[in-house]
Structure 1
Amino acid sequence: MIRRETGESVLAQRAARRLGLQAAGLASAIVVLLSAAAVTVVISSQHEAVATLLDSALTHADDVNDPPAEIWLARQNAGGILVTPGMPVGLPDMAAIERAATSGMGESQDYRAAGVEYRIDTIRQPDGTVVQGVLDLTANHAARNMLLAVLLGAGAIGLLLAAVAGTWLGHRALRPLSAALTLQRRFVTDAGHELRTPVTLLNTRAQLLRRRMCAGTGTDPAVDDLDRIIADTARLGEILEDLLIVSDPVAERPRERVDVAAIARDVLTAVGPEATDRGVRLTGPDPAAAPQYVHGSPVALRRAVMALVDNAVRHATRSVTISAETRDREILLDVSDDGPGIDPEVAPRLFERFASGQSRPSERRRRYGLGLALVSEIAAGHHGRVELLDQEGPGAALRLRLPASAEGPKIV
């Protein structure tokens, strides 16, 4: 049986993988910091141990025949230089001995020969004898390399375990959210599917009724209203399709080149009867003006413009005005009304869901449900935004900003 992955499960898996990678990244940063601290402490300890061992050997060196393990001594006195048998080739460092004999100052340096690193300390004793100690650092380097190998191995295993644990925990943490999103999407898709059929039937019956009314003279004034009903039901079907697309988290709206000014005029025609009933005069973009093209979803953009206009008509006193222009590679669609205006206190959250406010105590409350919030989401989905404009006098003005489209065929 093949299991089909839903959009929510795909998003949950991506989020879980991101959590796993983030956990691995955090673990790697912690491992690197701890490893660096551990290596620093070990190297510092080794340097102190080497310095202490050489200092003790040089201070208590009565002869060169019995030094501590891995140490060779050289002594210079009036009788010449004595060297521990088996001293590495190229040593002792006679130049360092001469400098110590002349200046009386001790010195320390590293020396490498045949792939082996040595530490050389040279001092002058109170009786004038210069003593030089040579320590083989092979054991120190081996211990340090072993520590680095252990840290790297443990770090790699830790990163792998952190990634696996982070991904597993992410799956567990996101499972309830994925289930909730699946349930929500199922509700939207089921509702959209159930509404699609009656909307289609309503549109079909309206077309049949129009044909019967036009079978005679075709002069019945109700024909225009039927045309509007047919257009509105067609738009409603498009909105349902758009909502179904939006409900799928991995789906994308089809994008086309759209004339926003033409959409605004079409919206004004649709809301005309309601505006007339309310006694509101509508003024839209001049049909003779240049088109205002954007690249986006015609259905979604029409929903945004419809929400702005519907909000303005519901709150207007006498008039609503829509204008569209291109400015600085942006399409600016302004919708203004002469209603009660917007409460300054609610302005910062105007595009949140179910915001409400009151401009003056003596005026009616101006309410906002989902409309302006949906406008903000649609604008953001088109790389634009919606904003409240400063306006002198009564009323409110909202502006929809969208990136202008340069070229291509017009599709509305």
Structure 2
Amino acid sequence: MNARDQTELKHAVLWLGLRFTTVIIVLFVVMGALVYSIVAAGTQASTSSSLASATRIDSPSDAPLGVFVAISTGGQVVLSRDVPRGLPDTAAIARVVASLREEQGNVTLEGRTYTVLTAYRNGRVIQAAVDRHESQEELSRLMVAMTIAAVVAASMAAALSVWMAQRAMKPMAESLALQRRFVADASHELRTPLTLLSTRVQLLRRRLDGSGPTPVNDDVREGVAQLVADAKMLTGILDDLLLSADPRETVDHGPVNLVTIADRATALAEPAAQQRAVQLTRSGSNEAVTVRGSEVALGRVFTALIANALDHAETNVQVQVGVHGKDAVIRIIDDGTGFAPGSQARAFDRFASARPLTGNPVTARHYGLGLALVAEIVALHNGKVVVEPGMAPKGAIVKVLLPLVQA
């Protein structure tokens, strides 16, 4: 995957992780609110039960632990031990004496809240009070514990969801990137042979229509042979692309002669060079330079490098094949604008154009795929491709090194 695909994958993984984490947080909030409500209702019910039991005792000394009791009989009030200052609530007692109906409410004294139940029982008024401080602290501790649990669960859910999403989406992203790459490669690779086919057919048609020199049988035979060769090359490129589209497929490489491939690629590119008014020459070794690889794939290397050189050349392109030590050396030399300083590192990236096109009006649009395809094919052949400065004040050299077949 290229940098753009990796960025898209990262964004998708983070988006899925964020959504999953949000769902976990919402579930924890709902669960926490439910638990808090149940605990708070239970505490309230327990407090009400304790107060109701306390209003049925006969003496303040019988008051349950944690409950403060006051019994008013005939205007005299008897209190249980340790009744907080401010209790009993005499106003509540007076209201119950007048109405003979019990009432319950909250009273705040010195920063503490008490729940107070005042009831009329058997000719006397009994008031029971419970300090809510402990129950409120328990609810606060429960809230803090649930908040911490929610934060920990959200953090773990975020990390786990990102990890799972990355594992789940990476094969899909790689498959999509492979599909995009195959479409881009097929489109780019088929441009040159289709252009050659179109040029040859147009020339042959002109001659057959009488707009050019009168054709002879040899001319027609040669033109048809070239069309057949172009069609065969298209078929080979398609087969090679289909194999490269599936990484599970493996291809057995055999010995191939780079000189023969270079001569064929130069001949195929000659019409395009003439159309651009560029002199295309093949130089270097005329003896066999044998490497192990795919003839079609290495033909794509020459085709892509020559097409790239023609796109940028002004007057001259050279195709050299030679030997240096244990390596076969391919050099494609042009006298164009050359590579900008510092651009050699990204010259073989997809959709990256490392130098501007010439002002030639017949130059086709540059997609930035040719050198990237060359780099991939050369890597599959255990080779190396580099960019060198031109021999003249301007221009560029793209050099490919491939291991020679040892005798």
TM range (shorter): 0.3 to 0.5
TM-score, normalising length from structure 1? 0.47
Please tell me whether Structure 1 or Structure 2 has the larger radius of gyration of its CA atoms: 2
TM-score, normalising length from structure 2? 0.48
